[in-house]
Amino acid sequence: MVSVAKKLVLQKQKELKKTKGKKPIKKTGKSVSSKPKTISNSKAAKIVKKQTPTAPKYVTSEKLSWKAVDIPDTLDDYEGFCGLEEIEGVDVKIVNGRAQFIVKSDDKVRSQEEIKSVKTSIPEGDFELDEEDVNEDELKKSEEDHEEGDEDEDNKEDGEEEDKEVEQGEENEENEKANNEKLSSEKMKIIEKEPSKNKKKTKTVTTLTSRNNADDEQDVPTIETEQTPEEIKPKVQKPKQNIKKLQEDELLANGDAFTAAQELELPDDNINLPKWTKPIPQLSAFTLTGLSKLGFNKPTEIQKKTIPVALEGTDVIGKAITGSGKTLAYGIPIMEKAISTGNWETQDTPTGIIFAPTRELASQVSKHLQQLIKYSSLPTNSIVTLTGGLSIQKQERLLGYNPRIIIATPGRFLELIEKSTDTATKFASTDIVVFDEADRLLQDGHFEELDKILELLNNYRPKEKLQSKKWQSLVFSATFSKDLFGKLDSTKPKPEAKNNKKRKANEVEESGDAETAEVLQMLGKKLRFRSKPSFIDVNPTDVVADKIIEAMIPCGNQERDLMFKD
């Protein structure tokens, strides 16, 4: 006899067989009755109708609901196209020489109102536009709107990092803006041949090019299509504003140095600045043009004495008070070296690294050097400031454009070289290292960082490849008091070596008093100069002593006694 349990099992198996193949019912919050609902024939028909895919529709690009996406720093995982998000469920087909977009559902298509509103926000880039799509006024307006948008975006980015760095932030934004102009990563160019007069079919070549990477260009598909001259619409005249700059930047970014050189404004060879050229005959026409434009008709004392020595490659220790023109005293030698190197578009190592103790000073130095560099053959993104409080990613991106001059505070610089051996190796290959306001750089807070930096740079320097095993050091400070350089005490030579070292310190030219000599000796040990440094003191103590006048103050006996009372 079959047991009740077995009966139940058999019944269950039968039920399971019946339900097999049916789609499982999705669970909702509501309780689902175990009894399957019967669906009327008409309702079932409606559901079937809803599931039928819409017939494919051909639409123009403006009708698609494109969304802008940020282009990431690295393009490895980037799936967008020219800063636009890919739209799923849309196919592209070339019909009569034009790209047609085939959509399968209406939710990918914009309404007329939406199309109108997006026409005023054309994305950045040299996109060619159809005349009927937008007139010149609209184009100008959209560009202005977009510029404002850019600022907002950048401000937002910096705001996330640190608000208080306003001044420096602005300066980096300027650099970044210049770089963005120069290297807007993806570009669409439409090169069209002139339509022939005899109404023959003309070939239109559409090439997608990447400005940044010549290799990318080879991988980009070229679409050749046949078009009649009627089909080729005249291009809208782009705004003239900044066109020359854009063309120049494009040439430079593409590495077409020869054509770019022709586009560059040449320096004035007839600049007459004898007060500069007499003590410093090595100055280039670029620098002289810049100095003349800035109205700097003669060098300051520290500039006159430092620049010629530094241009010869000698290490320099300069003593000059604040506001004496130290920035150009080291800035001009770096600039001249960078200009003479020539192949800056291929060289990926910096010419000079300038260390400053504070972000404000770094920013000030950068601004000052930018003023002069703009008259040189060096590109606008030749100077990069690396300081804390600003986006490290942004700074890394700027380093990708191979700047010639790095201005840094020790903390951020150390962070970057500890993060990437590639960056450390590049920086270690520098020709010149400047320590501005050395007394402050070698005090608490910075001393340990600078110590590590020097060690890393020394270790990473690819000596076999470089002409010189050591970089040139330019050290500036308003004072060489032992109190301020106290940290160097720990690196003081051992007593037995003291006499030898003392002799070396005395060899430093015009080293002045014993205290200065001792500080210089300690500095030499820390910075490991490549040559005997030239000590240039533009405010020696005897200058101050000369200004002290002997005076007699007549006073009575009582006052005199008060004076000598201990």
Closest CA to 240 of 311, 136, 102: 136
Binding window for ligand ATP (CB under 6 A); candidates: 26-34, 103-111, 206-214, 293-301: 293-301
Residue whose CB is less far from ligand ATP, 363 or 395 = 363
In the stretch 84-113, what mask flags binding to ligand ATP with x, by CB under 6 A? ------------------------------
Collapse the DSSP code of 512 into the 3-class scheme (helix H, G, I; strand E, B; otherwise coil) and give the result. coil
Sign of the torsion angle spanned by Cα atoms 554, 558, 561, 566: negative
383-386 and 405-408 beta bridge pairing: parallel
Residue whose CB is less far from ligand ATP, 21 or 323 = 323
Check binding of 333 to ligand ATP (CB under 6 A): no
Residue whose CB is less far from ligand ATP, 83 or 279 = 279
Check binding of 356 to ligand ATP (CB under 6 A): no
Q: Which of 300, 341, 423, 443 binds ligand ATP (CB under 6 A)?
A: 300
Residue whose CB is less far from ligand ATP, 344 or 355 = 355
Which residue's entry shows tokens 């070549």? Answer: 205
Residues 6+ apart with CB under 8 A from 496: none
Q: Which of 66, 101, 286, 296 binds ligand ATP (CB under 6 A)?
A: 296
Binding window for ligand ATP (CB under 6 A); candidates: 45-53, 182-190, 282-290, 295-303: 295-303
Q: How far is residue 303 CA from its own chain's centroid?
A: 29
φ, ψ of residue 349 to 5 degrees: the values are -110, 145
Q: Which of 19, 322, 346, 467 binds ligand ATP (CB under 6 A)?
A: 322
b/e per residue 70-92 (b: at least 16 CB within 10 A): eeeeeeeeeebebbeeeeeebee
Check binding of 325 to ligand ATP (CB under 6 A): yes
In the stretch 361-380, what mask flags binding to ligand ATP with x, by CB under 6 A? -------x------------
Check binding of 327 to ligand ATP (CB under 6 A): yes
Please report the beta strands in 432-485, taking only residues with DSSP state E, as ranges in sequence order. Answer: 432-435, 472-477
422 and 462 in contact (C-beta within 8 Å)? no
Closest CA to 394 of 175, 146, 149: 175
Check binding of 305 to ligand ATP (CB under 6 A): no
Closest CA to 323 of 437, 195, 186, 169: 437
Check binding of 355 to ligand ATP (CB under 6 A): no
Residue whose CB is less far from ligand ATP, 302 or 417 = 302
For the CB of residue 419, give the shortest distance to ligand ATP in the complex, in Å. Answer: 29
Q: Where does this chain bind ligand ATP (CB under 6 A)?
A: 296, 299-300, 303, 322-328, 368
